[in-house]
Structure 1
């Protein structure tokens, strides 16, 4: 789910080692068309943070590799960012890490007549994402391999958790902003 197209896959093959070397995890890569192509790369540190300086450092590292390899025909913009509050969930660990928060999942197949599900994440069990769907008595087990797209839903609880994480996160100079 981190990539969707062969070009996204090619960028992941180039960007992954650069991100690893700099201490980042690639969350998602998308190459989007339009008047001018755009390569969007979302990344974060293992603790879930991603500062402006981190984005700049990763962008510089990626620019060197992308200029040398030239994987995208023609001109394009490179956009490096954090996943944001209502972030995409692209790896099994993300579903465990964000347990207790509401997420929207879109499957690659119909299940009980539908492809889209919204509920509270309840973690992971083997290769299945656990989702508590409103109105359902039992927790749904959804194979990770069936998920085409997933993201957190902006809720008051999510915004509160993000604010608390930011207050406890180190600032640009490395010191914590909480006592």
Structure 2
């Protein structure tokens, strides 16, 4: 029996159907469908996780929700009622691809490396498979380059106080206008 058989019996769209239907619509307004989850609860829930290089604010969520609702309403005449939710990746979701690191630039992250070591620092530029991480070095900071394939897990850290000015300067310098 296929893993989504309970969803089919509830007459819900599949993950693939939702992605196929919404991907182009979201792209037209500058966003992408990061993932879709469908839960067989009462009521069933279709959650669309969206993202972009500019992030996702409440206005964008409202726009994407309207787009998703309209697009799904066109084809969902055979689907059972469900709750539609459009949301962002969230701060606790691991950074798993180069675009995730690029989009989190300037944020503090905890990184577990494939060799078992770990490092915490502020994300700078990410390009060509390399993440630049601003890390403490004595009383100052330095920029350390890590290949994305060296990273086994990376999580954005929630900060309650303003970041160190030097740390922020270095995270910005690893990009435009610094000769890289």
User: Structure 2 length as normaliser, TM-score?
Assistant: 0.54
**Residue 14 in structure 1 maps to residue 17 in structure 2:** no
**Residue 98 in structure 1 maps to residue 104 in structure 2:** yes
Return closer, same or farther for 1:14/1:27 CA change in 2, 3 Å cut-off: closer
How big is each residue's C-alpha offset from its partner over 1:50-93, in whole Å with a ceiling of 9 and x where there is no partner?
Answer: 234x32332222123224445x9754321113455x37546534
1:141 to 146, 162, 167: 146
TM superposition shift of 1:126? 0.8
User: Structure 1 length as normaliser, TM-score?
Assistant: 0.54
SS at match of 1:28: strand
Return closer, same or farther for 1:47/1:132 CA change in 2, 3 Å cut-off: closer
2:173 aligned residue:
none
SS at match of 2:41: coil
CA distance in 1, matches of 2:21, 2:153: 23
1:120 aligned residue:
122
SS at match of 1:156: coil
Whether the 8 Å CA contact 1:43–1:50 is kept in 2: the answer is: no
TM superposition shift of 1:121? 1.7
2:47 aligned residue:
40
Name the larger-Rg structure. Answer: 2
Whether the 8 Å CA contact 1:133–1:140 is kept in 2: the answer is: no
TM superposition shift of 1:47? 3.5
CA distance in 2, matches of 1:73, 1:148: 39
Q: How many residues align?
A: 143
TM superposition shift of 1:103? 2.0
TM superposition shift of 1:154? 1.0
TM superposition shift of 1:31? 0.5
